[in-house]
Structure 1
Amino acid sequence: MNFLVFSRAIPPELCSVEILADIFRLRRILPHIISPIQVSFVPGRQITDNILIAQELMHKFKLSKGNKGFMAWKIDLSKAYDRLNWKFVEHVLVELGLPCPITKLILCCVSTVRYQIYMNGELTDQFLPKNGIRQGDPLSPYLFVMCIEKLSHLIEDSVKKGVWKPVKSSQSGPAVSHLFFADDLVLFAEANSTQARVLKSCLERFCNASGQTVNYDKSVVFCSPNTRKETAKEVSLICGSPLTEDLGKYLGMPMLHSRITKLTYGSLIDKVHKRLASWKSKFLTLASRATLIQAVTSAVPIYAMQTSKLPISVGQELDKLNRNFFWGGSEKKLKIHLCQWDLACRPKHKGGLGFKKTTAMNKALLAKVGWRLHQNDKGLWAKIYESKYLKGKSVLDSSLMFRQDCPTTWKGVMYGVELLRQGVGWRVGKGDTTKFWKDSWLIDERLLKHDGVLHIEDIDCSVSNFFKDEWWDLDKLRRALTEDLVQHVVNYPVGFASNLQDCQIWKGTANGVFSVKTAYNMFFKDPSWPDYSFSSLWKLKIPPKLKIFAWLIAQGKILSNEQRVRRQLTLDASCGVCEWPIETTLHILRDCYKARDIWNTVLMPRHQGHFFQMDFLPWFQTNLLSQAVWCSNIPWCLVFIFTCWYVWKWRNHQVFQGDDDVSPYPKQLIVRAVHEWFKASHVLSRHNHKVQVDLKWEPPISGQFKLNVDGSRRNGSGHIGAGGVIRNSSGDWISGFAVNLGKGQILEAEIWGLFFGLKLAMDKEINNLVVELDSALAVQLIQKQGLTDVHPLAALVASCWELMHKINCCSVYQTYREKNSVADCLATWSYNLDLGLYIFVDAPAWIGPSLIEDLLRFTRSRLVPTDLLV
């Protein structure tokens, strides 16, 4: 940094930030300099990789027969960070080829530390250490990983020389000599005295150079069952570590030597039980309990479930603990559970509370391991599975079965693959690999099983057989499929102009990449009450406890006397306030005379008649999701749910405590609570202020052409279309188009519009082209932000790139809709056309007003966030 230039100076307090910013660049090179067996702190590697490998090798040990035994030496390094020699650190950094200034900077950070010890209530004088790196320092993990890599080099050299005999999980699989995760080390070799001496020699050489010390008493040696007892004892004596019949836990997971039982993962139940026991549920609202379950107890078993299928009894016990805590019950006294746990475990947008059912989450997490195999992960664990189980087959192959003698980890993976098969589909590129009838590419099921099939000429034909002139062969499609299905086919984002190959993707996500969340959601079908928007409920800015209350109302789970009779808690279904024969949820919240009196104080007079005439669900949905404003800019939905809460609260006081707690001025209490919440949430929320600006279409500069494109979708029918126009610097119409794309999503329409616009420009031999569209997401995809080969739109976007490369000087920008009115009109007009593309050499008469407005530089107003203003 040039400190002579004042403009480049930085405040002293930011110097450490600048240093760390440079140091963190080390992460980028770690995957290239650290061997695959070290998975800690290396981007792209996961701790579960080594667990899977270790379990495979333990299974190998278990099944070993004959005279050749195997050993695993689990090593405990004593104070590994504190003992690291600084000279050794310098040697490692130099050997890795780091630039001299970076090396000096790192050593300066390491060696300039000062320590004080808090002793007898007082701090000692500062002193300088002579070795060691600080735990908690962001640089330390990377330095330690690079230093421990030297031990890996020593081991690999011994293996190459044939001195060290590593272990193979299968005959054709890769050999494994060691597994590292930071300072957790496990060494593998054949079990004999010669190999034991080789292992100890490598370890001692590394310790002498690095300053490390092995705690031999805490380290253990495990030998395969077929190893002779005398040999095992000799190996243990040479290594200096005790012999064990159970390797215990590795990276927090038990090394399984037999079948899994409830006792194997009993610690998970104990952990959750201790967490829940530390909280007093009776002092917490349902919303508070829900937060604790989602953030704490549901996370406890996640780590274990990533690599192993838990016993069903363990999952049931964990669910039971969470369920009883949420409803406030205990083993001694159970409280009423207002709904089934399966309903509470549904995703929020599907009518649930978003809790995680343990067995379903377990399967979704194991499906992720299967997805990584399916995506050809390059890790050592994947190579072991490929050589031992897959043998060239896809992990989705239905013929791929596991034998009963397979390790529990592989059985768990295959358990997850069952779910994976349901969510994997095809992303069509060139269309020559995907089978039109047999593969799942258009909808969730294969077209072969769809009711919309009319005629099948060739059951093995590929999707590309239905292409014609860089578009679909509509005549052929209509002979094979019903019109409704054809409407879905024609908008499918295939790569007519690209060479992108077909590939399998995850259909549950927008980007085609597997996610545990969407895999878990596959367990739950859409709710049977599609008229109610639960997603909107959870987005409301109301107190969390009232969100839970609103959810219970929407589900009809409020404990009215009608519900209490159904649960055999009472024989009297009448209202305890007005003695109405049947007390329903609607009666409690609105129709009881006391509730009605309260509502009349809150409601505007002009709304009272309609308010009391609606059925339950329409009444609740309309008011809760209302965008209306009550007074003082307070949303009506906030007043509505607060009033429901107080009506329910006052009713319970009167019925169960005989206390008519209703204030003579209920409106004042409700309004005060509403104002307090509104003020607090308004202060805490970050509002992005908007200003009104005037926008108009801007013509391109002289010598350039401008292509405006837009997509459109009708929410009711799902029909989509696109349109676009090319104009010169004078605003003259060069050419335009509209295309009816059948049924699909708006983003597909936007990208299709860009594709046909670029194709039109190329056919017109237009160069120096500026493209504008009003979809930010579409522009991001074109600019390759968040786009991978498995993205559902990857083939269509690739086709757009191909066309852009053929046009000399072509750039794509996002614009506001107010600047894109002509393209918007063309896209909307496409609904009046038959399926397919229509070119307008001259401007249609109905587009004239919008064109004239652009020519006259007519402005349109829009509220724009201040941070987007240039």
Structure 2
Amino acid sequence: MAIKLDMSKAYDRVEWDYLREVMSRMGFHSHWIDLVMHCVTTVCYNVIHDGHVIGPIHPTRGIRQGDPLSTYLFIICADGLSTLIQQYEANRIIHGCRVARGAPPITHMLFADDSYLFCQATNGAAEGVMSLLHSFEQASGQQVNVAKSSVFFSPNIDNQSRTLICSTLQMSQADEGSLYLGLPNIIGRNKSAIFGFLKNKVMARMNTWEGKFLSRAGKEILLKTVIQSLPTYAMSVFLIPIGICEEIEKLMASFWWKTSSSKGNGIIWMSWNRLGASKDDGGMGFRHLHDFNLAMLAKQGCRMLCNHDTLVSRIFKAKYFPHSDFLLAKLGNNPRFVWRSIWGAQHLVKKGAIRTIGNGASTNILTHPWLPSTENKYVSSTHPGLISNTVSSLFFMDPRTWDVDIIRDLFPTQEANIILGLPLSPHASDDCWSWSNDSKGCFTVKSAYNLLQDDKHLHSGPNNSGFWRKLWQLKIPPKVKNFLWRASNDCLPTCLNLVIKHVNIDSRCPVCKLYTETVVHALISCPFAHSYWTKLGPRYVPDVLSSFGSWLDKLFRTLKDDQVSYVAMVCWALWNARNNTVWKDKSSTVSAVLMSAKTTLDHWKKAQDNICLSSIFFDNKGDGAELWTKPDNNHIKINVDAALFPQEHSYGYGIVARDSTGHLIEAKTGYFEGNLDASTVEALSIKEALSWIKSKNWQNVEIESDSMISVQGIRGNQVINSLSGLILHDCQILLSSLPSVSLRFIRRSANRVAHVVARYSRFLSGRSIFEYNVWSDCESLLYSKYL
């Protein structure tokens, strides 16, 4: 049975002598204890009643709620209860519960003043619990609120025993609606009814925003930061019914599209699936809640896969997969809903989890995912010589290199190339699990969610040239960006679009009253708008116009950023002028539109100048340079870069060494077959540069790379459980043996020569390049600018 305890006035009842004694038993220094107790015992209160001050009132026990120190002090007090429970268990007065054979016994779970006790469902155990609680109450001053406490029984306990135990404990049996930490304790058959409170919370929060004048940019922030976060806690434990997720998404869509003047739900101009696409793909980046739910549950699965020693992992492993790992676990017969939920995300963990090869001793060749391939991480070869063997049997140990002959014999050509393109670290020890969709190898909910979205291929609108990315990067007010997004997706309430949505109005333009009003007509080809664009010049007037998005995309490619920003503001002002004509019967002039656009943009930019914006923090002097500069006298500067060739399933790197005069000393390339991610290849290029410097015995060398992740990883001391992490660790070891070598981060614009050399690596693999044999394109770039 499980006993849910509720402490009455938990913070206010803490005895000061008990708190001091517990801290003393835990080993805190007496001086530190005196300081803490001085903070606790010197408090006093004053009460204002009928305008008169009553006090001061000096309490004799309790800790103040809201004080930052109080939470930690109460945890210390709760440790006394935990120690007492362990003592009762050691004396065999109570016994913990095991969920399965081989599982650790559980006696209690504590979270602040919410506690759970687990023991056998016998009257003797109930009497032991009462004795335990009485002892704790006497010592600490705490008091169990039996009216709010309850008892949970397993289904095989008969009613007579339940009644007797509840009578002994003076508590009632828990009902299906009971909660612990905001989540339901008992999950019945009707999941939609149980989790309906999530929808109610969303509705209640949205109702508080009714009547407020919010732009769509403001609504976007509220939906992403508030509404989407409300079900997050429940989603990390349970698989929420798809129906509940869809109902919440409908509420979000209605709130998003509804205007302040509309009485109903507003017109839905775009489906939620399209809104849920990333901003780079033409959507708004809202979450698909079911996919986000799976990503949250996949986090629990990854913890069970990687952290075997945690209490949760030990319990679930003993119950559901005692002889395998999480990736091979089965659902089982009559599983609990929590396990069913976590197991539902197993397919996602399988897609992203991969073994990082260290010494290869614990990775099975056939049953573990270890190939760095986006198509299949498992070996497809069925050669009998691979059965039960580990990856360590495929390479030599000293030095650690692949056994090319064995790999060519046992694997198909494509798999053999992938394996041989996998770098081996001479310093790595044990193999480990990592997450293939994160540069640091760590599981993140964001990367898991993106993995699900990549499978759906959610794309809408023009995306070949980075159109949407350019749109969202414009330095204009957020509401104007949102306006451009709606215009590019043909989601503006023009007369024609309203007629399509069955609104009974005239489809002609309300400004010129001549032509059908589309987005293109309202913002570009209407005589009123066209007169303005004509004044700006012919490049603003399109020859053939298919859509507003195509016109804007052309401007992105031909105009400067500040010019495009001004065009965006003019479009916004034209739309406002059109709305004034419709709703206020107020006509505007071209000069008024221009003045409105310029004034709005100027005011917004001035407001941004008054905001202290944080920039990227660079660790070392010289980081973030945008132009290449000559090194100091008697110094050598080496630039490195990597290149990926996805079509050929290969990668390469380029290394360029120059002296203090800016002349080329030597350049080096490398080209390999394999499917490695960008961060791994960037780390590998730095490692090759360090090894090259060591072999040349060069002194006073400056290495520059445009990979911030790699530079920060080498400088930091964080353990990164991925292939790139192993290579970065090798770089740290090499760099420590080269005291006169420094490493810094530069912008891509300052690394153009190394970039070109890396792109040519597939034609010049393994070649050394000097001034006499450098090709013309590289030579012109090499000596075009030093500063």
Q: TM-score range by the shorter chain?
A: 0.7 to 0.9
CA deviation string 1:234-284 (max 9, x = no partner): 323332333445571111111115224322122222222222222225733
Query: CA–CA distance in 1 between the matches of 2:14 and 2:522?
Result: 71
> CA 1:115–1:599 in structure 2 vs 1: closer, same or farther (change >3 Å)?
same
Query: CA–CA distance in 2 between the matches of 1:474 and 1:585?
Result: 62
Sequence identity, in percent?
25
Contact 1:599–1:643 (CA under 8 A) maintained in structure 2: no
Query: Counterpart of 1:144 in 2: which secondary structure?
Result: helix
Query: CA–CA distance in 2 between the matches of 1:812 and 1:200?
Result: 67
> CA 1:577–1:252 in structure 2 vs 1: closer, same or farther (change >3 Å)?
same
Query: Pairwise mapping of residues 715-754 of structure 1 onto structure 2 (< 5 A)?
Result: 720-725=652-657, 737-740=668-671, 747-754=679-686
Structure 2 unaligned blocks of 5 or more = 617-623
Query: Counterpart of 2:55 in 1: which secondary structure?
Result: coil
Query: Counterpart of 2:372 in 1: which secondary structure?
Result: coil
Shift in Å, 1:841: 9.9
Note if 1:838 corresponds to 2:761.
no
Query: Pairwise mapping of residues 643-658 of structure 1 onto structure 2 (< 5 A)?
Result: 643-654=570-581
Query: CA–CA distance in 2 between the matches of 1:720 and 1:636?
Result: 38
> CA 1:767–1:234 in structure 2 vs 1: closer, same or farther (change >3 Å)?
farther
User: 1:395 is matched with which residue?
Assistant: 326
Query: Counterpart of 1:164 in 2: which secondary structure?
Result: coil
Alignment partner of 1:639 out of 558, 562, 566: 566
Alignment partner of 1:144 out of 50, 54, 74: 74
Query: Pairwise mapping of residues 280-291 of structure 1 onto structure 2 (< 5 A)?
Result: 280=210, 283-291=213-221
Structure 2 counterpart of 1:342, which letter? N
Query: CA–CA distance in 1 between the matches of 2:661 and 2:482?
Result: 59
User: 2:731 is matched with which residue?
Assistant: 800
**TM-score normalized by the length of structure 2:** 0.84
Alignment partner of 2:442 out of 504, 513, 525: 513
User: 2:619 is matched with which residue?
Assistant: none
Query: CA–CA distance in 1 between the matches of 2:761 and 2:161?
Result: 84
Query: CA–CA distance in 2 between the matches of 1:588 and 1:129?
Result: 72
CA deviation string 1:525-560 (max 9, x = no partner): 252543243334333332222222111122232234
CA deviation string 1:346-392 (max 9, x = no partner): 23333221222322222221121111111125332221101001213
> CA 1:547–1:94 in structure 2 vs 1: closer, same or farther (change >3 Å)?
same
Note if 1:96 corresponds to 2:23.
no
Contact 1:767–1:809 (CA under 8 A) maintained in structure 2: no
Query: Counterpart of 1:813 in 2: which secondary structure?
Result: strand
Query: CA–CA distance in 1 between the matches of 2:518 and 2:777?
Result: 57
Shift in Å, 1:337: 0.4
User: 2:424 is matched with which residue?
Assistant: 495
Query: Counterpart of 2:307 in 1: which secondary structure?
Result: coil
Contact 2:187–2:194 (CA under 8 A) maintained in structure 1: no
User: 2:715 is matched with which residue?
Assistant: 783
CA deviation string 1:477-516 (max 9, x = no partner): 899557xx999888x6622433344443223322221222
Structure 1 counterpart of 2:594, which letter? K
Query: CA–CA distance in 2 between the matches of 1:157 and 1:688?
Result: 55
> CA 1:141–1:493 in structure 2 vs 1: closer, same or farther (change >3 Å)?
farther
Contact 2:109–2:117 (CA under 8 A) maintained in structure 1: yes
Report the count of equivalent residues: 763
Query: Counterpart of 2:428 in 1: which secondary structure?
Result: coil
Contact 1:273–1:321 (CA under 8 A) maintained in structure 2: yes
> CA 1:581–1:716 in structure 2 vs 1: closer, same or farther (change >3 Å)?
farther
Alignment partner of 2:312 out of 381, 384, 387: 381
Contact 1:500–1:795 (CA under 8 A) maintained in structure 2: no
Shift in Å, 1:394: 1.7
Query: Counterpart of 2:191 in 1: which secondary structure?
Result: coil
> CA 1:421–1:570 in structure 2 vs 1: closer, same or farther (change >3 Å)?
farther
Alignment partner of 1:551 out of 453, 465, 485: 485
Contact 1:429–1:501 (CA under 8 A) maintained in structure 2: yes
Structure 2 counterpart of 1:530, which letter? N
Note if 1:673 corresponds to 2:600.
yes
Alignment partner of 1:339 out of 256, 270, 288: 270
Contact 1:739–1:835 (CA under 8 A) maintained in structure 2: no
Query: CA–CA distance in 2 between the matches of 1:456 and 1:239?
Result: 64
Contact 1:435–1:463 (CA under 8 A) maintained in structure 2: yes
Shift in Å, 1:153: 1.0
Greater mean deviation of Cα atoms: 250-259 or 462-471: 462-471
> CA 1:474–1:579 in structure 2 vs 1: closer, same or farther (change >3 Å)?
farther
Query: CA–CA distance in 1 between the matches of 2:264 and 2:776?
Result: 75
> CA 1:106–1:653 in structure 2 vs 1: closer, same or farther (change >3 Å)?
same
Query: CA–CA distance in 2 between the matches of 1:300 and 1:815?
Result: 39
Greater mean deviation of Cα atoms: 808-817 or 349-358: 808-817
> CA 1:588–1:277 in structure 2 vs 1: closer, same or farther (change >3 Å)?
same
Contact 2:572–2:597 (CA under 8 A) maintained in structure 1: no
Contact 2:369–2:379 (CA under 8 A) maintained in structure 1: no
Contact 2:534–2:541 (CA under 8 A) maintained in structure 1: no
Query: CA–CA distance in 1 between the matches of 2:544 and 2:226?
Result: 43
Structure 1 counterpart of 2:313, which letter? A
Query: Pairwise mapping of residues 669-708 of structure 1 onto structure 2 (< 5 A)?
Result: 669-686=596-613, 695-699=629-633, 708=638
CA deviation string 1:374-414 (max 9, x = no partner): 112533222110100121312112x62232x2111111111
Query: Pairwise mapping of residues 243-642 of structure 1 onto structure 2 (< 5 A)?
Result: 243-246=173-176, 248-256=178-186, 258-280=188-210, 283-328=213-258, 333-397=264-328, 400-403=330-333, 405-429=334-358, 433=363, 435=365, 439=369, 441-446=371-376, 494-524=423-453, 525-528=457-460, 529-531=462-464, 532-569=466-503, 575-578=509-512, 583-601=517-535, 603=536, 605=537, 607-608=539-540, 616-623=548-555, 628=560, 635-642=562-569
Query: Pairwise mapping of residues 195-274 of structure 1 onto structure 2 (< 5 A)?
Result: 195-246=125-176, 248-256=178-186, 258-274=188-204
> CA 1:472–1:163 in structure 2 vs 1: closer, same or farther (change >3 Å)?
closer
Shift in Å, 1:466: 8.4
Note if 1:829 corresponds to 2:763.
no
Contact 1:774–1:820 (CA under 8 A) maintained in structure 2: no
Contact 1:497–1:802 (CA under 8 A) maintained in structure 2: no
Query: CA–CA distance in 2 between the matches of 1:599 and 1:774?
Result: 44
> CA 1:416–1:120 in structure 2 vs 1: closer, same or farther (change >3 Å)?
farther
CA deviation string 1:408-448 (max 9, x = no partner): 11111111223222333343445674759994633321178
Query: Counterpart of 1:186 in 2: which secondary structure?
Result: strand
RMSD value, Cα: 4.4
Query: CA–CA distance in 1 between the matches of 2:684 and 2:512?
Result: 62
Query: CA–CA distance in 2 between the matches of 1:499 and 1:829?
Result: 30
Structure 1 counterpart of 2:300, which letter? V
Structure 2 counterpart of 1:799, which letter? D
Contact 1:430–1:494 (CA under 8 A) maintained in structure 2: no
Contact 2:274–2:458 (CA under 8 A) maintained in structure 1: no
**TM-score normalized by the length of structure 1:** 0.77
User: 2:620 is matched with which residue?
Assistant: none
Shift in Å, 1:160: 1.7
Structure 1 counterpart of 2:711, which letter? V
Contact 1:345–1:352 (CA under 8 A) maintained in structure 2: yes
Contact 2:277–2:459 (CA under 8 A) maintained in structure 1: no
> CA 1:548–1:833 in structure 2 vs 1: closer, same or farther (change >3 Å)?
closer
Query: CA–CA distance in 2 between the matches of 1:694 and 1:825?
Result: 10
Structure 2 counterpart of 1:644, which letter? C
